[in-house]
Amino acid sequence: MRYVFLCVWMFVHVVSGKASEVITDTIPPSKDSHVDAIAPDSNFGSAETLSLEYTTCPTKTILIKFDMPFPSQSLDSIVVDEARIGLYVYSSTDSCEVMVSALGQNWQEMEVTYNNRPGPGSSMGVSSSLTDQPGWQYINVAPFVQAFALNFLSNYGFEIMPLSTVEIEAVSGQCPDTAFRPRLYLAYHYEGSHAAEGYLFEPVEFDVSSISLKEASIKYSIPGKTQVHLEIYDESGESVGEVLEYPTTSGRYETRWRAPGPGVYFVRLEACGSVLVDKAVILR
């Protein structure tokens, strides 16, 4: 008898309350880089990695900017329910707190260095926690995005700074695979409409179970319209079949995958702007 063990999680848009009155968006960065106090005149705008580092003080910090989708009219009626930067971390030496501040000047991705980096736009700072686990990590920036919407602050982007000893490597906007690039998860509504209740971007469980000697049942739920892509690889990295590639709307779905034989397989799931890879083990 064979068994399949697989748990796939992904972050997607789940809107609580009246979805028709809450606007959600996933925004790619318009520019990003990191600066390094050890190499104060070096530019890292073309690097595929964003780095955070703290030794006796913060030595590497991340600069990142997102263009906001707010319409120019009725800005004073926009209420930001949630705004979180998503970074795909592939290496971290420890858990840490990070401090985010809004930048007070414009900067150029291919020119910014530690020595010419822009200063803060206000005295406000917002802290978030990052774990030492690889994968998607999320940083709260809602107070700043609300200030951008109300024109209390100009949107020159953010600086992310570690507050304790750590070395973190994350994927930058220069990464060839767009699925792992940074993004801003944003949700807002207009005054007078219903606000969202709770977090808008929640994990959704994908359940895979054995239904015969060679087949696995993959059950998943989608909260909104998206393109779904599911592909499975063997231990050598060779694709053993594209299971899904199609647009879909919200709902619960099930598909079946027929394994070519016993072994370890890696499942790559892409949907709603996120990608996760997990392992399926098929035993006799």
| Residue 269 domain boundaries | 3-12+202-283
**Residue 282 identity:** I
Over residues 8-30, the pLDDT tens digits come to 222 233 333 333 477 888 899 99
pLDDT surpasses 80 at 68: yes
Based on the fold, state whether residues 24 and 134 are members of the same structural domain: yes
Any domain includes 175: yes
Assess whether 233 and 139 both reside in one domain. Answer: no
Same domain? For 64 and 168 the reply is: yes
pLDDT tens readout for residues 83-126: 999 999 999 999 999 999 999 999 999 999 999 999 988 777 88
- 196 within a domain of the structure (yes/no): no
CATH classification of the domain holding 232:
2.60.40.10
Decide if 98 contacts 196 (C-beta within 8 A): no
d(CA 188, CA 68): 11
In this structure, the answer to whether residues 52 and 185 fall within a common structural domain is yes
Q: Is the pLDDT of residue 41 over 70?
A: yes
Q: Are residues 25 and 157 in the same domain?
A: yes
Burial class (CB in 10 A: 0-12, 13-18, 19+), 240: middle
Summary mean pLDDT of the chain: 79
pLDDT above 80 (res 196): no
Do 81 and 157 fall into the same domain? yes
Residue 24 in domain: yes
| Domain presence at residue 197 | no
In a domain, 82, yes or no: yes
Instruction: Look at residue 147 in the predicted model and tell me its pLDDT.
Output: 87
Q: Are residues 28 and 68 in the same domain?
A: yes
- pLDDT of residue 225 exceeding 70, the answer is no
**Total structural domains within the chain:** 2
pLDDT above 60 (res 206)? no
Greatest CA separation for the chain: 63
In a domain, 32, yes or no: yes
Out of 10-14, 36-40, 79-83, 184-188, the most confident range is 36-40
Residue 195, domain member (yes or no): no
Residues 115 and 154 in one domain: yes
User: Rounded to whole angstroms, what are the CA distances from 225 to 14, 112, 228, 249, 272?
Assistant: 11, 38, 9, 4, 8
Residue 204 has pLDDT above 50, yes or no: no
Query: pLDDT value at position 165?
Result: 95
Q: Is 179 or 245 the better-scoring residue by pLDDT?
A: 179
Reported confidence tier of residue 272, pLDDT bands at 50, 70, 90: low
| Position 215 in a domain | yes
Both 141 and 66 in one domain: the answer is: yes
49 vs 277: which has the higher pLDDT: 49
Domain stops at, among 160, 190, 220: 190
34 and 105, same structural domain? yes
Single pTM value for the model: 0.66
pLDDT: which is higher, 154 or 211? 154
Residues 24 and 160 in one domain: yes
Q: Regarding predicted confidence, which is higher, 72 or 200? A: 72
